[in-house]
């Protein structure tokens, strides 16, 4: 139906018996009544002919074996609507039809696994949207690897316990608390390494530790959570809780 908007005539080659098509009845009736569409039943495409561009096709009748050549200017292989996602089935979240669920950043249900293109649940499956997804997925994957590496370098593989402070440029109190924490720990002889996480740029670390309140302070040892202070806490509370 869609191709008849652009083509003078559309020939649909169907491998089933007369009148049987793999779509709902309402769409089938519309197609049968469209004067631009003709059907060739019990047949498959055997060959596409042409020099540089399509000039004709050879159609094979599956019942008689007869080959018929039809003039054509284009061929659209209707490959069906089953996404080839079996290799990730049971590993990442799919919808009931087998399409991969991925968010705006192309993140799937599994940390570090990204999806792009027709295999995703999406509104429009076209080259331009697939390329768009691909660009986003590539940037997301690059940021993911970068965040993972800097987390290991700055938080996990360090000698001291780490005081992670989650702040955001949109929250003045979080900026203030980050510098107060810095000063308090410095005054106490640098018992902890202070790492400041800007949640507007690095959301993953906050998600990893379920940090929902900005500011928050987390005390970690080799990446393991020891203590969590949510909200804008005063100096005395910080000193008492961090034992500094």
Ligand X SMILES: Cc1cc2nc3c(=O)[nH]c(=O)nc-3n(C[C@H](O)[C@H](O)[C@H](O)COP(=O)(O)OP(=O)(O)OC[C@H]3O[C@@H](n4cnc5c(N)ncnc54)[C@H](O)[C@@H]3O)c2cc1C
Binding site for ligand X (CB under 6 A): 76-77, 79, 84, 87, 117-118, 125-128, 130
- Nearer of residues 59 and 217 to ligand X, judged by Cβ: 59
- In the complex, the smallest distance separating the C-beta of residue 55 from ligand X, rounded to whole angstroms, is 19
- 232 and 174 Cβ atoms separated by less than 8 Å: yes
- In the complex, the smallest distance separating the C-beta of residue 127 from ligand X, rounded to whole angstroms, is 4
- Nearer of residues 135 and 187 to ligand X, judged by Cβ: 135
Integer CA distances (angstroms), 99 to 36, 43, 84, 91, 133, in order: 33, 30, 9, 13, 14
- In the complex, the smallest distance separating the C-beta of residue 16 from ligand X, rounded to whole angstroms, is 19
CA–CA separation, 56 and 129 (whole Å) = 31
- Nearer of residues 78 and 190 to ligand X, judged by Cβ: 78
CA–CA separation, 23 and 27 (whole Å) = 7
- Nearer of residues 36 and 125 to ligand X, judged by Cβ: 125
- In the complex, the smallest distance separating the C-beta of residue 147 from ligand X, rounded to whole angstroms, is 26
- Nearer of residues 117 and 215 to ligand X, judged by Cβ: 117
Q: State whether the Cα torsion 117-121-122-123 is positive or negative.
A: positive
> For strand 10-13 and strand 37-40, is the pairing parallel, antiparallel, or unpaired?
parallel
- In the complex, the smallest distance separating the C-beta of residue 126 from ligand X, rounded to whole angstroms, is 3
Cα-Cα-Cα-Cα torsion 21, 22, 25, 28, nearest 10 degrees, comes to -50
Residue nearest to ligand X (CB): 117
């Amino acid at each position: 139906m869609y191709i008849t908007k652009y083509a003078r005539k559309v020939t649909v080659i169907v491998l089933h018996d007369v009148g049987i098509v793999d779509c709902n009845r309402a769409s089938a009736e519309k197609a049968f009544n469209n004067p631009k569409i003709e059907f060739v039943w019990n047949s498959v495409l055997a060959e596409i002919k042409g020099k540089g561009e399509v000039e004709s096709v050879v159609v094979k009748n599956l019942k008689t074996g007869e080959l018929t050549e039809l003039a054509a200017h284009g061929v659209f292989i209707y490959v069906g609507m089953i996404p080839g996602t079996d290799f990730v089935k049971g590993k990442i979240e799919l919808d009931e039809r087998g399409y991969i669920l991925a968010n705006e950043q192309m993140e799937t249900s599994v940390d570090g696994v990204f999806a792009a293109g027709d295999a995703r649940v999406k509104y429009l499956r076209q080259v331009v949207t697939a390329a768009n997804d691909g660009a986003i997925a590539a940037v997301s994957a690059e940021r993911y690897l970068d965040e993972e590496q800097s987390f290991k370098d700055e938080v996990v593989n360090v000698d001291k316990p780490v005081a992670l402070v989650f702040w955001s440029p949109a929250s003045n109190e979080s900026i203030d608390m980050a510098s107060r924490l810095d000063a308090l720990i410095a005054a106490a002889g640098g018992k902890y390494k202070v790492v400041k996480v800007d949640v507007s740029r690095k959301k993953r670390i906050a998600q990893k530790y379920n940090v929902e309140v900005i500011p928050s302070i987390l005390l970690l040892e080799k990446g393991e959570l020891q203590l969590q202070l949510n909200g804008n806490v005063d100096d005395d509370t910080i000193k008492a809780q961090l034992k500094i």
